[in-house]
A and B are shown apart, each in its own frame.
Chain A
Amino acid sequence: AQKITQTQPGMFVQEKEAVTLDCTYDTSDPSYGLFWYKQPSSGEMIFLIYQGSYDQQNATEGRYSLNFQKARKSANLVISASQLGDSAMYFCAMRATQGGSEKLVFGKGTKLTVNP
């Protein structure tokens, strides 16, 4: 069964500094996708970045980058130059196959607080 583990319930970072949010995954599927979502206190789930299992390069989207280490089964999110607006819950998720269909399996999330 597929599983996502986020070991950091909460993280603190100073404004303008970089922060890494950890994510490890478990799957036996050779083809999978890894996602990071941001959920601010207002509740919406905002897509940040995606990494495919066959992608050769680490994904980047603006200040977000995904440190993908396939052998270690980790997909850490790096946020550079943190901003106060980055304070939110962050979820790592994996696209999991199930009998020809698919779903996203989520970790429990990491609450990031950016201090001024």
Chain B
Amino acid sequence: DSGVTQTPKHLITATGQRVTLRCSPRSGDLSVYWYQQSLDQGLQFLIHYYNGEERAKGNILERFSAQQFPDLHSELNLSSLELGDSALYFCASSSTTGGSGNTIYFGEGSWLTVV
């Protein structure tokens, strides 16, 4: 158990809909990262938050948004869903940002299927 909790574990929804994925980082970790893993794109970095502040954006679509709340949990919102958004979405956390130290632990992922 990595200590990173993601909900829901599985989600099936229709095209055009909106979903919210939730992540609770490891106790004490201030950094939260979101990743998308699909068969054709591999693991893609989406966005990074540190202590409530957005720090970096990767290949995140405009239809997607995220935030980190004062209690440090984070949510990834996916809207106007398309078939191609079907993927495994990971949240990861670490205790700091920057530098070469500190392990990054991943949650078990949220499987999203868009039909």
Interface residues of A, Cβ cutoff 8 Å to B: 31-33, 35, 37, 43-47, 50, 52-54, 91, 95, 97-106, 108-109
Contacts and interface: CB of A to CB of B under 8 A. Distances in A.
Contact of A104 (B2, B98, B104): B104
Interface residues of B, number: 28
A103 B100 contact: no
Contacts of B35: 104
Interface stretch (B17-25, B48-56, B61-69): B48-56
Given A101-B48, A101-B55, A103-B48, A47 B104 contact: yes
Nearest to B103: A50
Given A45-B109, A106-B43, A32 B56 contact: no
B43 A91 contact: yes
A14 B79 CA distance: 46
Contacts of B108: 43-44
26 contacts: A31-B100, A32-B100, A33-B102, A35-B104, A43-B111, A44-B2, A44-B106, A46-B2, A47-B104, A52-B100, A53-B100, A95-B104, A97-B98, A98-B56, A99-B56, A100-B98, A101-B56, A101-B97, A101-B98, A102-B48, A102-B97, A102-B98, A104-B35, A105-B45, A108-B42, A109-B42
Give the residue among B50, B97, B100, B101 with the most A Cβ atoms within 10 A.
B100
A82 B79 CA distance: 43
B84 interface: no
B6 to A, nearest CB: 10
